[in-house]
Amino acid sequence: MEKQFEEKSWAETGLTTRLGIEYPIIQGPLGGLSSQRLTAAVSNFGGLGSFGAHGLRPDAIRQVIREIRSLTSKPFAMNLWVSMEDEGASASDESAFRRSLSYISKHIEEVGGVLPSYTPYEPIRFEDQFRVLLEEKVPAFSFIFGIPPREVLDDCRHHGIAIIGTATTVDEAVALEAAGVDVIAASGFEAGGHRGSFLRPSEESLTGTMSLVPQVVDAVKLPVVAAGGIADARGIVAAFALGASGVQMGTVFLSCEESGASPVHRETLLTREAGTTALTRGFTGRLARGIRNRLLDEFNRDGTEILPYPLQRALVRHLSIPAEKAGRWEFLPLWAGQSARVSRCEDVSAFLTNLVTQVSEIAGGVQRWSAGTRVPTDTIV
């Protein structure tokens, strides 16, 4: 006999209740491609806009938060990286810098850039960044690459700041729940940008979204957000069928006018070149997914020397900035997930309006369900 489900909107989940939002849709933080306009636009629609601030110093983070607040009164999230540098970053010397520069120096000159000189590494401390989030009382704090110290999470709870941790494996999700986060984003390896693994090397933590989400849902009691390869209404409905309470979408927002992506990046996302992505450490020193181009392939060749994060990221910027001005997509780190070809968003409000309508139509056509609850297979018609 067909099981009966509580009749309520697909948008009403434990995630929306905890975050104070209307729709269980989180905009991925997008790292250096975030923008205050995009964050506010998603939040104003009723989702959770996010801003990736890991590369910013505290004063800049404070300014960003205040600008977002000038554009929206709705909840939004600020995203940080718990682990801010790789082993060997502080000890890396000028000799290593010059060896790594040698792989891209000809490209820098080709696009009209200036070859950089070596400068000693000046770290940015996670604790200093977080202090700004606490002082500004942001609505939500999301993070990747680890678990913050207990006092950081205690401060969030004391001030009513929602805590969203990112897991790339089931073990990481269990660890996040034990630490006391409110929401877990289960990030499959289809996702664009960096793999936020922290218990094992990223190369050993490459579980796909379709497999990862139901395993995490079974392992924890918290709301689980499906992330990685979700770019349209079909992906959202599939995520709910796997037991997720919401979704996180990143790449799809990069092509919109409000994003911080360059015109070259946005245009490439809307062409056939975006259909092929690959993982590399070459762009920043940490494993990340982007559109496959000449630069990515060269970095992935055997023997290429890559600096530790964030030194490699700083080095590659000396190429990407002039390459962007020259319109040379083949020399740019073009972050994108495996569903980039599905992504078609040029205006945030129009895209989200259509998305919500389509999800409602698909969900209603399959069955009535209680969103965020695993769906028994004998109810699918």
CATH of the domain at 361: 3.20.20.70
Asked if pLDDT for residue 381 goes beyond 90, the answer is no
Mean pLDDT (whole number) for 205-221: 98
Clarify whether residues 144 and 77 are in a common domain: yes
Same-domain pairing of 215 and 330:
no
- Pair (214, 308) in one structural domain: no
Give the count of domains, the chain.
2
Same domain for 218 and 78?
yes
Are residues 332 and 210 both part of a single domain? no
Averaged over 167-188, what is the pLDDT? 98
| Same structural domain, 357 and 337 | no
10 Å CB burial of residue 117 (0-12, 13-18, 19+) is exposed
Give pTM, 2 decimals: 0.92
pLDDT digits (tens, 9 = 90+) for 303-360: 999 999 999 999 999 999 999 999 999 999 999 999 988 867 889 999 999 999 999 9
| Predicted confidence (pLDDT) per residue in 237-262, tens digit | 999 999 999 999 999 999 898 999 99
Minimal CA–CA distance to 182: which of 158, 164, 156, 204?
164
Scanning 35-112, the segments in alpha helix (DSSP H) are 36-45, 58-71, 94-101, 105-110
Query: Which structural domain range is residue 370 located in?
Result: 1-85+123-253+347-381
Burial category of 296 from C-beta neighbours within 10 Å (exposed 0-12, middle 13-18, buried 19 and up): buried
Separation of alpha carbons 326 and 346, rounded Å:
23
Are 192 and 324 contained in the same domain?
A: no
Closest CA to 189 of 164, 172, 169, 173: 169
Check whether residue 272 and residue 149 sit in a common domain. no
Do 352 and 374 belong to one domain?
yes
Residues 182 and 154 both lie in one domain: yes
Tell me, yes or no, whether 13 and 143 share the same domain. Answer: yes
Query: In this structure, are 149 and 221 located in the same domain?
Result: yes
Q: Extract the tokens encoding 55.
A: 């590369």
